[in-house]
Amino acid sequence: MQAMIEASFRPVEFALGPPENVSVLCPVHKVEKCADCDVDYAGLNRLSRTLHTNTNLRCPPPPNLVNKQLTQAVTNTKEEGNALFKGGLYDKAIQRYTMAANVATQRAPWEHQALLREELATVLSNRAAAYLEAGDYIASLVDAEVVIQLRRNWSKGYFRKAKVLVKMDRKSEAKEAIQVGLAFDPDNKVCSSVRLLVCAHLNFVPGTARRTRTNRFLPRQERVQ
């Protein structure tokens, strides 16, 4: 094994950077991510900063360790976005949700990935709703798809996807999305109402004045959590 390690060993030149020489930079341009030098020390530096600022942290840390300060930061930033969303300030809400997502991704590698997935899914679900209200349907659909990838068994991602697909006049795809969501959460009344609404649109005959009672189940504004 030692022989294999030595055979594959390749020395790498680097420079130390602030704060207190705990970050690694490329030796030429003094940046942590450099295309010219073909190096990316971002992950290594994040781990280094975490260990440097937590002097009492054991190595390796316990698997159940959770950064409560970071959790609170994500929650506070998300709630700020929710307040802006409810006030109709969708662009500013999107900015706060984006910041909350960025904070969530700062979790150390050893923290439970389920927590990161849940935080990101909730924040991006809210951002999808804000994008929808702001009229940016493509961005809303992208966020909804990411939510589904993060939490496949959570109906909210499929709900977000279906709502934006209806706005994009892709109602057959919206019906498929909401049916998958209901498969995971068959008792979800909002998803059921969306499904009925989509089906009503699919059966709509141009030139007729047809209304559906399912509209009264749907909030005039998207809900965030």
Task: Give the CATH number, domain containing residue 146.
Answer: 1.25.40.10
Residue 75 maps to a domain: yes
Residue with tokens 């999808």: 128
pLDDT reported for residue 39: 85
Residues 84 and 173 in one domain: yes
Mean pLDDT of the chain: 82
Taking the C-alpha atoms of residue 164 and residue 168, their distance in angstroms, rounded to an integer, is 6
pLDDT reported for residue 79: 96
Taking the C-alpha atoms of residue 176 and residue 211, their distance in angstroms, rounded to an integer, is 22
Tell whether the model's pLDDT for residue 52 goes beyond 80.
no
Residues 103 and 147 in one domain: yes
Residues 130 and 29 in one domain: no
Residues 168 and 78 in one domain: yes
Residue 36 maps to a domain: yes
- Domain limits for position 141: 68-217
Residue 210 maps to a domain: yes
> In this prediction, what percent of the chain has a pLDDT beyond 90?
37
CB atoms within 10 A of CB 191: 23
Q: What is the mean pLDDT of residues 186-192?
A: 76
Residue 224 maps to a domain: no
Residues 99 and 207 in one domain: yes
Residues 84 and 130 in one domain: yes
Residue 151: partners with Cβ closer than 8 Å, 6 or more residues away: 117, 118, 121, 157
Residue 125 maps to a domain: yes
Residue 225 maps to a domain: no
Residue 223 maps to a domain: no
One-character DSSP codes across the chain: -HHHHHHH------EEETTTT-EEE-TTT--SEETTTTEE-HHHHHHHHHHHH-TT--SSPPTT---HHHHHHHHHHHHHHHHHHHTT-HHHHHHHHHHHHHHHTT--TTS-HHHHHHHHHHHHHHHHHHHHHHT-HHHHHHHHHHHHHH-TT-HHHHHHHHHHHHHTT-HHHHHHHHHHHHHH-TT-HHHHHHHHHHHHHHTPPTTS----GGGGGS-SS----
Domain count for the chain: 2
Residues 9 and 111 in one domain: no
Confidence of residue 116 (pLDDT cuts 50, 70, 90): confident
Residues 21 and 123 in one domain: no
pLDDT reported for residue 18: 77
Q: Which of 198, 201, 114, 194 is nearest to 155 (CA)?
A: 194
